[in-house]
Amino acid sequence: MVASFSTIALASRSSAAFSMSWITFAIGSPFLHATKRRIAIVTARRMERSYLDRVYNFPVRKWWVWWFCNLGAAAVFAAPLAQSPIAPAIAIAQVSSEVRAALTREYEIEVTVRPHSGDAWTRLAKRITGDASNWEDLASFNQADDKLDSEHTVRVPFVMLRANLQRDLIRILFPLDKATPDGWQHVVVGSRGIEGESLWKLAEWFTGDGANYSLIRKANPNQGLSTHKGDVILIPQRLLTAAFGGSSEGENAPKTAADVRKAQDDSAQRATADEDVPEAAASVVPLASPALTYERSAAEPYAVYRLQRGEALYSSVAIRFTGRVYSKDVGDVLDRIVKFNEIEDVAKLPVSFAVKIPMDLLLPEYLPQDDPERVARETTRRESALAARRARATGLAGVHVILDAGHGGRDVGTEHEDVWESTYVYDVACRLKRILENKSGARVSMTTKSKGNGYTILDKNVLPGANDHFVRTTPEYLLDDAIVGVNLRWYLANSMFRRAMKSGVPKEKVIFLSIHADSLHPSLRGAMAYIPGAGFTTGTFQKKGEIYLAREEVREQPTVTHSRDEALAAEGLSRDLAESVIASFEDKGLRVHPFEPVRDNVVRRGHEWVPAVIKYNEVPTRLLLEICNLGNPKDRDLVTTKKYRQQVADAIYRGIADFYSAHDDARRTVVASGSK
């Protein structure tokens, strides 16, 4: 019996190889017209599915099935299969006998090039990318030496292709796409379950940088964070690369935030915490990835960025590219860059000055595309997006919101000009609690409480300092030690989460939100959200000591374990919620951090980490929200007004509601029916 089933399975796999080889032959033939080639692909796939159905579903096959499929197919098609294995694909495009691309089921555009006989890396790079100097990057990407083997196909990153090749491949892979006066209109093909190609992927393909997904979403206000087959998405003209009708200006095209900023940086390059300095960026995030070039062969490898008009070294380089936001960190990085470039006067740097940035300072997203750290981070981000499965809840019905006001008690958090972080974020949390309870079907739990005022909202602008907050554990803990207080919060949140699930609440309908106010470089303003990056949260964690074990919530489950899969799902869900909240701030005209307002870790004093209150938390959808920068005088003045605090609470509520909104499904139905 085992032998019979093995023979059938082997014959089936061999049949698949035969059928897939037929596809390779059909689409690779230079004699087929492009349209006929696409028809051949579809026909071949249908033949393949039909043949496999017959093999798998028929109980017994004669011996000649095995012999023909394995011996015959191997003899005829072994060479092309060995050279160019075909991964499962949604669509395949071949613009010439040399260049071929496949849209994989993971929504990657995989491009392969068949070299000419006697080809060289420089000639291939010039022909395919338009620049012979790209040959080293191509060789590295293919893990090859400096001699091109013309007998094997070459993989080429889509973003490196000449503009005309990018455009031709996209038109074949996405035949419903088209250029419009407002930009590029993309129709989602989405055949992987219910999810389509992500906004991040669209930003990579059409703008050159996945980080522009937030701007694409902003240009499509009815588009959810997830895409589905039939969705019509506009990529604005100003974001597009030259391949899709965008313009390239200057040495650092595509454009950066400097081109659209309203308030420009001045010559001030370093400031004390409360010094009045210009704001670091425009009212919007950068339109596209600022161009960097790399010198890897130097004794200390570095990237090069050319300053644009109106840009300053501390904000446009030190803050943007390194992720540093705290005053001392920004100053330290600035000192190193000044020394590395032998700059005598930072106030006299000309436009287009080539700033060399040591590569060990760069955020992963600004490293070369093939850098292992960048590849790993982007892989994690894609995996987390696929792992996230959001629930829908009209009016937040059935949703359980756990609110955590940062610090409290003797731990006032950051303090500037007698403005205590703990006092004002507690007020925002109380306002948000009231909105959720009055306007939605959500259940709200708070991790802390004021002994004197409870959750009463004071009708005042400037609030009196309060130090009577306690963590609502059993028994309660009067906030005395900041570290103990933080750890008891996540233990309490985990207990609340378990109780919610026992009562029938799906885990996707529980969210945890910790509200804080930051103390950053004074040039920075606005809200910023931290989420639990999967690379920082996997493992097993436990706090020991009588002060913890005295609490019922700790004894319930002293140890917390996050698997890789759980960490990925948490990062994806938390990012979706954070982006929804940040988008709500922007929609209401509230300031957000100019560079990467959603971050999966904190960078401080040369270390990367995730705050404990979300690192050890078991609620899958969780974030720490910094509502403003108390280190900036304007933000500090705003938070001392009840109007602003109410606006912040309203924006957070709208962000949560949008995260659970079901309007995407209704809109999607209309789009799909209208596209037939």
The yes-or-no verdict on residue 581 having pLDDT over 90 is: yes
pLDDT of residue 201: 87
The arithmetic mean of pLDDT across residues 612-617, rounded, is: 97
The yes-or-no verdict on residue 615 having pLDDT over 50 is: yes
The yes-or-no verdict on residue 123 having pLDDT over 50 is: yes
Average pLDDT, the chain: 80
Q: How far is the C-alpha of 410 from the C-alpha of 419, rounded, in Å?
A: 14
| pTM tops 0.75 | no
Q: How confident is the model at residue 193 (pLDDT cuts 50, 70, 90)?
A: low
pLDDT of residue 387: 87
Which pairing describes strands 400-405 and 443-446: parallel, antiparallel, or unpaired? parallel
Written as six digits, the tokens of 444 are: 């709200």
CB neighbours of residue 587 within 10 Å: 14
* Residue 156, CA distances (Å) to 127, 254, 370 in order: 12, 21, 12
Task: Give DSSP secondary structure letters for 250-310.
Answer: STTPSP-GGGT-SS---S-----TT-----SS-SS--SSPPP-EEE-SSSS-EEEEEPPTT
Considering the chain, what percentage of its residues have pLDDT values greater than 70? 77
pLDDT of residue 315: 82
* Residue 556, CA distances (Å) to 140, 496, 510, 551, 668 in order: 52, 11, 19, 9, 44
> Domain 398-662, what fold?
Aminopeptidase (3.40.630)
pLDDT of residue 386: 85
* Residue 224, CA distances (Å) to 220, 282, 576, 603, 635 in order: 9, 25, 10, 30, 30
Q: How far is the C-alpha of 17 from the C-alpha of 47, rounded, in Å?
A: 13
Q: List all residues 6 or more positions away from 63 whose beta carbon is below 8 Å from its beta carbon.
A: none
The arithmetic mean of pLDDT across residues 122-146, rounded, is: 88
Written as six digits, the tokens of 11 are: 């014959």
Q: How confident is the model at residue 235 (pLDDT cuts 50, 70, 90)?
A: very high
Task: Give DSSP secondary structure letters for 405-444.
Answer: E-SBTTB--SEETTEEHHHHHHHHHHHHHHHHHHHSS-EE
The yes-or-no verdict on residue 633 having pLDDT over 80 is: yes
- CA end-to-end distance (rounded Å), the chain: 49
Task: Give DSSP secondary structure letters for 643-659.
Answer: HHHHHHHHHHHHHHHHH
Q: Please answer whether residues 439 and 653 qualify as being in contact, where contact means their C-beta atoms are separated by less than 8 angstroms.
A: yes
The yes-or-no verdict on residue 56 having pLDDT over 60 is: no
pLDDT of residue 341: 96
The yes-or-no verdict on residue 38 having pLDDT over 70 is: no
- Whether omega before 254 lies within 30 degrees of 0, making that bond cis, reads yes
pLDDT of residue 194: 55
The yes-or-no verdict on residue 249 having pLDDT over 70 is: no
pLDDT of residue 276: 45
- Show the 3-state SS of 583-641: HHHHHCCCCECCCCCEECCEEECCEEECCHHHHCCCCCEEEEEEEEECCCHHHHHHHCC
Q: Please answer whether residues 318 and 334 qualify as being in contact, where contact means their C-beta atoms are separated by less than 8 angstroms.
A: yes
Written as six digits, the tokens of 81 are: 């299969």
Helices (H) and strands (E) in the chain, counts: 23, 25
pLDDT of residue 532: 97
Q: Give the DSSP H or E segment for 523.
A: none
pLDDT of residue 279: 61
Q: How confident is the model at residue 602 (pLDDT cuts 50, 70, 90)?
A: very high
CA quadruple 634, 640, 643, 647: dihedral sign: positive
The yes-or-no verdict on residue 649 having pLDDT over 90 is: yes
The yes-or-no verdict on residue 114 having pLDDT over 80 is: yes
The yes-or-no verdict on residue 96 having pLDDT over 70 is: yes
Residue 444 forms beta bridges with which residues?
401
Q: How confident is the model at residue 4 (pLDDT cuts 50, 70, 90)?
A: very low
pLDDT of residue 75: 41
Residue 104: exposure state from Cβ atoms within 10 A (0-12, 13-18, ≥19): middle
Sheet arrangement for strand 621-629: 443-446, 400-405, 510-518, 621-629, 528-530, 598-599
The arithmetic mean of pLDDT across residues 452-463, rounded, is: 96
Residue 74, Ramachandran bin (φ over 0: left; ψ between -120 and 50: alpha; else beta): alpha
To which residue do tokens 């999967």 refer?
534
- Show the 3-state SS of 378-412: HHHHHHHHHHCCCCCCHHHCCCEEEEEECCECCEC
pLDDT of residue 358: 96
- pLDDT for 461-515, tens place per residue? 999 989 999 999 999 999 999 999 999 999 999 999 999 999 999 999 999 999 9
Break the chain into its structural domains and give their ranges: 2-86, 92-165, 174-244, 265-368, 398-662
Residue 250 has phi, psi (to 5 degrees) of: 75, 180
Q: How confident is the model at residue 21 (pLDDT cuts 50, 70, 90)?
A: very low
Between 70 and 616, the more confident residue is: 616
Residue 512 forms beta bridges with which residues?
402, 622
The arithmetic mean of pLDDT across residues 188-200, rounded, is: 74
The yes-or-no verdict on residue 7 having pLDDT over 70 is: no
- pLDDT for 442-453, tens place per residue? 999 999 999 999
The arithmetic mean of pLDDT across residues 411-419, rounded, is: 92
pLDDT of residue 44: 42
Q: List all residues 6 or more positions away from 155 whose beta carbon is below 8 Å from its beta carbon.
A: 110, 111, 112, 113, 141, 142
pLDDT of residue 163: 87
pLDDT of residue 280: 58
pLDDT of residue 73: 40
Between 16 and 259, the more confident residue is: 16
Q: How far is the C-alpha of 12 from the C-alpha of 65, rounded, in Å?
A: 9
Q: How far is the C-alpha of 463 from the C-alpha of 451, rounded, in Å?
A: 16
Q: Give the DSSP H or E segment for 455.
A: none
Written as six digits, the tokens of 537 are: 């949260």
- pLDDT for 542-557, tens place per residue? 999 999 999 999 999 9
The arithmetic mean of pLDDT across residues 29-47, rounded, is: 39
Between 427 and 275, the more confident residue is: 427
Q: How far is the C-alpha of 162 from the C-alpha of 453, rounded, in Å?
A: 65
pLDDT of residue 146: 86
Q: How confident is the model at residue 595 (pLDDT cuts 50, 70, 90)?
A: confident
Between 620 and 55, the more confident residue is: 620
The yes-or-no verdict on residue 215 having pLDDT over 90 is: no
Between 246 and 589, the more confident residue is: 589
The arithmetic mean of pLDDT across residues 587-601, rounded, is: 93
C-alpha radius of gyration, the chain, whole number: 28
